[in-house]
Structure 1
Protein backbone atom coordinates (compact mmCIF):
# COMPACT_ATOMS: atom_id res chain seq x y z
CA UNK A 1 0.00 0.00 0.00
CA UNK A 2 1.46 3.35 -1.05
CA UNK A 3 0.62 6.52 0.84
CA UNK A 4 1.50 10.18 0.43
CA UNK A 5 2.94 12.32 3.20
CA UNK A 6 2.91 16.12 3.16
CA UNK A 7 4.86 17.93 5.88
CA UNK A 8 5.69 21.53 6.69
CA UNK A 9 7.55 23.44 9.35
CA UNK A 10 6.91 27.02 10.40
CA UNK A 11 9.04 29.45 12.36
CA UNK A 12 7.96 32.99 13.07
CA UNK A 13 11.16 34.97 13.32
CA UNK A 14 13.68 32.37 12.09
CA UNK A 15 14.61 31.54 14.77
CA UNK A 16 11.36 32.05 16.59
CA UNK A 17 8.28 30.25 17.85
CA UNK A 18 7.93 27.17 15.67
CA UNK A 19 5.58 24.35 14.80
CA UNK A 20 5.46 21.21 12.70
CA UNK A 21 2.62 19.78 10.64
CA UNK A 22 2.18 16.47 8.85
CA UNK A 23 -0.70 14.92 6.97
CA UNK A 24 -0.85 11.39 5.60
CA UNK A 25 -3.12 10.36 2.70
CA UNK A 26 -3.98 6.91 1.40
CA UNK A 27 -3.79 5.89 -2.26
CA UNK A 28 -7.32 7.22 -2.86
CA UNK A 29 -6.46 10.64 -1.40
CA UNK A 30 -8.31 10.16 1.89
CA UNK A 31 -6.73 11.80 4.92
CA UNK A 32 -5.54 9.05 7.27
CA UNK A 33 -3.77 11.11 9.92
CA UNK A 34 -3.03 14.74 10.65
CA UNK A 35 -0.57 15.91 13.29
CA UNK A 36 0.65 19.24 14.60
CA UNK A 37 3.36 19.86 17.16
CA UNK A 38 4.65 22.92 18.99
CA UNK A 39 8.45 23.01 18.76
CA UNK A 40 9.40 25.93 20.97
CA UNK A 41 11.97 28.26 19.44
CA UNK A 42 13.96 27.09 16.42
CA UNK A 43 14.85 27.95 12.82
CA UNK A 44 12.62 27.23 9.87
CA UNK A 45 14.94 24.49 8.58
CA UNK A 46 14.91 22.71 11.94
CA UNK A 47 11.10 23.02 11.97
CA UNK A 48 10.95 21.52 8.46
CA UNK A 49 13.02 18.51 9.55
CA UNK A 50 11.01 18.06 12.75
CA UNK A 51 7.82 18.10 10.66
CA UNK A 52 9.22 15.40 8.40
CA UNK A 53 10.16 13.32 11.45
CA UNK A 54 6.65 13.76 12.85
CA UNK A 55 5.14 12.61 9.58
CA UNK A 56 7.47 9.65 9.11
CA UNK A 57 6.87 8.47 12.67
CA UNK A 58 3.13 8.71 12.06
CA UNK A 59 3.46 6.73 8.82
CA UNK A 60 5.50 3.99 10.52
CA UNK A 61 2.97 3.81 13.37
CA UNK A 62 0.16 3.46 10.81
CA UNK A 63 1.95 0.51 9.18
CA UNK A 64 3.00 2.28 6.01
CA UNK A 65 5.50 0.37 3.87
CA UNK A 66 5.75 2.62 0.81
CA UNK A 67 5.47 6.38 0.88
CA UNK A 68 5.69 9.37 -1.43
CA UNK A 69 6.94 12.38 0.52
CA UNK A 70 5.98 15.87 -0.63
CA UNK A 71 7.69 18.94 0.83
CA UNK A 72 7.84 22.62 -0.04
CA UNK A 73 11.40 22.80 1.35
CA UNK A 74 13.74 22.50 -1.61
CA UNK A 75 16.70 22.26 0.78
CA UNK A 76 15.44 19.15 2.52
CA UNK A 77 14.29 17.53 -0.72
CA UNK A 78 17.72 18.01 -2.25
CA UNK A 79 19.48 16.79 0.89
CA UNK A 80 17.35 13.63 0.93
CA UNK A 81 18.04 13.10 -2.76
CA UNK A 82 21.77 13.39 -2.07
CA UNK A 83 22.11 16.46 -4.29
CA UNK A 84 23.09 18.67 -1.33
CA UNK A 85 25.24 17.78 1.64
CA UNK A 86 23.96 18.45 5.14
CA UNK A 87 26.52 20.96 6.41
CA UNK A 88 24.55 22.68 9.18
CA UNK A 89 25.43 21.09 12.53
CA UNK A 90 21.88 21.52 13.88
CA UNK A 91 20.45 19.61 10.90
CA UNK A 92 22.88 16.68 10.88
CA UNK A 93 21.25 14.70 13.73
CA UNK A 94 17.78 15.41 12.34
CA UNK A 95 18.87 14.17 8.91
CA UNK A 96 20.27 11.00 10.53
CA UNK A 97 16.95 10.43 12.35
CA UNK A 98 15.04 10.86 9.09
CA UNK A 99 17.31 8.34 7.35
CA UNK A 100 16.74 5.83 10.19
CA UNK A 101 12.96 6.12 9.79
CA UNK A 102 13.18 5.88 6.00
CA UNK A 103 15.19 2.67 6.39
CA UNK A 104 12.15 1.12 8.12
CA UNK A 105 10.10 1.52 4.94
CA UNK A 106 10.15 -0.81 1.95
CA UNK A 107 10.37 2.13 -0.45
CA UNK A 108 10.08 5.89 -0.49
CA UNK A 109 10.37 8.85 -2.81
CA UNK A 110 10.61 12.56 -2.17
CA UNK A 111 9.63 15.51 -4.33
CA UNK A 112 9.29 19.24 -4.00
CA UNK A 113 5.81 20.75 -4.27
CA UNK A 114 4.79 24.40 -4.42
CA UNK A 115 3.39 25.92 -1.22
CA UNK A 116 -0.09 25.97 -2.79
CA UNK A 117 -0.06 22.15 -2.87
CA UNK A 118 1.04 21.93 0.77
CA UNK A 119 -1.73 23.98 2.41
CA UNK A 120 -2.99 21.32 4.83
CA UNK A 121 0.48 20.65 6.25
CA UNK A 122 1.10 24.41 6.46
CA UNK A 123 -2.16 24.82 8.38
CA UNK A 124 -1.08 22.12 10.83
CA UNK A 125 2.39 23.65 11.25
CA UNK A 126 0.86 27.03 12.06
CA UNK A 127 -1.48 25.35 14.54
CA UNK A 128 1.65 23.95 16.19
CA UNK A 129 3.13 27.44 16.47
CA UNK A 130 -0.11 28.83 17.86
CA UNK A 131 -0.46 26.05 20.45
CA UNK A 132 2.64 27.33 22.19
CA UNK A 133 1.75 31.00 22.21
CA UNK A 134 0.16 32.11 25.45
CA UNK A 135 -2.26 34.97 25.17
CA UNK A 136 -2.91 37.17 28.21
CA UNK A 137 -6.46 36.92 29.50
CA UNK A 138 -8.50 40.08 29.79
Structure 2
Protein backbone atom coordinates (compact mmCIF):
# COMPACT_ATOMS: atom_id res chain seq x y z
CA UNK A 1 0.00 0.00 0.00
CA UNK A 2 1.19 3.48 -0.91
CA UNK A 3 0.64 6.34 1.57
CA UNK A 4 0.14 9.63 -0.25
CA UNK A 5 0.01 12.98 1.54
CA UNK A 6 -1.25 15.95 -0.49
CA UNK A 7 -1.59 19.64 0.18
CA UNK A 8 -2.39 22.77 -1.76
CA UNK A 9 -1.41 26.31 -0.83
CA UNK A 10 -2.22 29.76 -2.19
CA UNK A 11 -0.62 33.13 -1.64
CA UNK A 12 -3.86 35.12 -1.78
CA UNK A 13 -7.27 33.66 -2.43
CA UNK A 14 -7.11 33.30 -5.37
CA UNK A 15 -3.44 33.78 -5.99
CA UNK A 16 -0.25 31.97 -6.94
CA UNK A 17 -0.72 28.36 -5.85
CA UNK A 18 1.33 25.27 -5.30
CA UNK A 19 0.76 21.57 -4.78
CA UNK A 20 2.82 19.34 -2.52
CA UNK A 21 2.86 15.56 -2.73
CA UNK A 22 4.70 13.38 -0.22
CA UNK A 23 4.64 9.62 -0.85
CA UNK A 24 5.69 6.82 1.50
CA UNK A 25 6.37 3.46 -0.13
CA UNK A 26 7.97 1.10 2.32
CA UNK A 27 11.22 2.69 3.45
CA UNK A 28 11.32 5.06 0.47
CA UNK A 29 9.94 8.60 0.48
CA UNK A 30 9.18 10.67 -2.61
CA UNK A 31 8.70 14.45 -2.65
CA UNK A 32 7.07 16.54 -5.38
CA UNK A 33 6.40 20.28 -5.65
CA UNK A 34 4.31 21.85 -8.41
CA UNK A 35 3.49 25.44 -9.19
CA UNK A 36 -0.16 25.52 -10.32
CA UNK A 37 -0.86 29.10 -11.39
CA UNK A 38 -3.56 31.28 -9.82
CA UNK A 39 -6.19 29.34 -7.86
CA UNK A 40 -8.08 29.48 -4.60
CA UNK A 41 -6.68 27.45 -1.74
CA UNK A 42 -9.46 24.88 -2.12
CA UNK A 43 -8.82 24.49 -5.85
CA UNK A 44 -5.10 24.01 -5.11
CA UNK A 45 -6.01 21.21 -2.69
CA UNK A 46 -7.96 19.40 -5.43
CA UNK A 47 -5.13 19.91 -7.93
CA UNK A 48 -2.68 18.41 -5.43
CA UNK A 49 -4.75 15.20 -5.34
CA UNK A 50 -4.86 15.12 -9.15
CA UNK A 51 -1.07 15.60 -9.40
CA UNK A 52 -0.55 12.81 -6.85
CA UNK A 53 -2.81 10.44 -8.77
CA UNK A 54 -0.87 11.15 -11.96
CA UNK A 55 2.43 10.43 -10.18
CA UNK A 56 1.05 7.16 -8.81
CA UNK A 57 -0.27 6.17 -12.23
CA UNK A 58 3.28 6.45 -13.61
CA UNK A 59 5.19 5.09 -10.62
CA UNK A 60 2.84 2.70 -8.78
CA UNK A 61 0.22 1.70 -11.39
CA UNK A 62 -1.15 -1.40 -9.68
CA UNK A 63 -0.80 -0.50 -6.01
CA UNK A 64 -3.46 0.24 -3.41
CA UNK A 65 -3.50 3.97 -2.67
CA UNK A 66 -4.18 5.47 0.73
CA UNK A 67 -4.37 9.26 0.39
CA UNK A 68 -4.30 11.74 3.25
CA UNK A 69 -5.33 15.40 3.11
CA UNK A 70 -5.92 18.11 5.68
CA UNK A 71 -8.68 19.59 3.49
CA UNK A 72 -12.11 18.54 4.74
CA UNK A 73 -13.71 19.94 1.59
CA UNK A 74 -11.58 17.73 -0.65
CA UNK A 75 -11.99 14.60 1.48
CA UNK A 76 -15.77 15.05 1.90
CA UNK A 77 -16.27 15.82 -1.80
CA UNK A 78 -14.31 12.73 -2.90
CA UNK A 79 -15.94 10.44 -0.33
CA UNK A 80 -19.46 11.61 -1.29
CA UNK A 81 -18.52 11.84 -4.98
CA UNK A 82 -20.59 15.01 -5.10
CA UNK A 83 -20.25 18.79 -4.96
CA UNK A 84 -22.50 21.70 -5.83
CA UNK A 85 -19.51 24.01 -6.36
CA UNK A 86 -19.15 24.49 -10.13
CA UNK A 87 -15.39 25.07 -9.80
CA UNK A 88 -14.90 21.72 -8.08
CA UNK A 89 -17.06 19.56 -10.38
CA UNK A 90 -14.48 19.14 -13.19
CA UNK A 91 -11.75 18.57 -10.59
CA UNK A 92 -13.82 15.85 -8.92
CA UNK A 93 -14.40 14.22 -12.32
CA UNK A 94 -10.63 14.17 -12.98
CA UNK A 95 -9.97 12.64 -9.56
CA UNK A 96 -12.59 9.93 -10.09
CA UNK A 97 -11.23 9.17 -13.55
CA UNK A 98 -7.63 8.82 -12.35
CA UNK A 99 -8.61 6.92 -9.18
CA UNK A 100 -10.52 4.34 -11.23
CA UNK A 101 -7.19 3.15 -12.68
CA UNK A 102 -6.22 1.64 -9.31
CA UNK A 103 -7.49 -1.50 -7.58
CA UNK A 104 -8.32 0.53 -4.44
CA UNK A 105 -8.23 4.24 -3.67
CA UNK A 106 -8.91 5.59 -0.20
CA UNK A 107 -8.75 9.13 1.13
CA UNK A 108 -8.88 10.22 4.71
CA UNK A 109 -8.76 13.53 6.52
CA UNK A 110 -5.78 14.23 8.78
CA UNK A 111 -4.94 17.26 10.95
CA UNK A 112 -2.57 19.87 9.50
CA UNK A 113 0.18 18.88 11.94
CA UNK A 114 0.30 15.41 10.34
CA UNK A 115 0.63 16.89 6.85
CA UNK A 116 3.67 19.13 7.31
CA UNK A 117 5.77 17.49 4.58
CA UNK A 118 3.17 18.05 1.85
CA UNK A 119 2.43 21.57 3.13
CA UNK A 120 6.13 22.47 2.97
CA UNK A 121 6.38 21.14 -0.61
CA UNK A 122 3.33 23.17 -1.72
CA UNK A 123 4.80 26.36 -0.25
CA UNK A 124 8.19 25.67 -1.84
CA UNK A 125 6.51 25.55 -5.27
CA UNK A 126 5.05 29.03 -4.72
CA UNK A 127 8.35 30.42 -3.38
CA UNK A 128 10.36 29.08 -6.31
CA UNK A 129 7.95 30.58 -8.82
CA UNK A 130 7.89 33.94 -6.99
CA UNK A 131 11.70 33.98 -6.86
CA UNK A 132 11.87 33.26 -10.63
CA UNK A 133 9.51 36.12 -11.41
CA UNK A 134 11.47 38.53 -9.21
CA UNK A 135 14.89 37.73 -10.70
Tell me the TM-score normalised to structure 2 length.
0.92
Query: How many matched pairs?
Result: 133
Look up the match of 1:23: 22
Look up the match of 1:70: 68
Runs of 4+ in 1 over 6 A off after TM superposition: none
> Aligned partners of 1:106 and 1:73: how far apart in 2?
24
> Aligned partners of 1:131 and 1:63: how far apart in 2?
28
Q: State the Cα distance separating 1:13 from its structure 2 match.
A: 1.1
Give the CA RMSD over aligned residues.
1.5
> Aligned partners of 1:130 and 1:40: how far apart in 2?
12
Unpaired stretches in structure 2, ≥5 consecutive residues: none
Unpaired stretches in structure 1, ≥5 consecutive residues: none
1:1-138 equivalence runs, <5 A: 2-26=1-25, 28-31=26-29, 33-64=30-61, 65-82=63-80, 85-134=82-131, 136=134
| 55-64 or 116-125: bigger deviation | 55-64
SS in 2 for 1:88: coil
Q: State the Cα distance separating 1:55 from its structure 2 match.
A: 0.7
Tell me the TM-score normalised to structure 1 length.
0.90
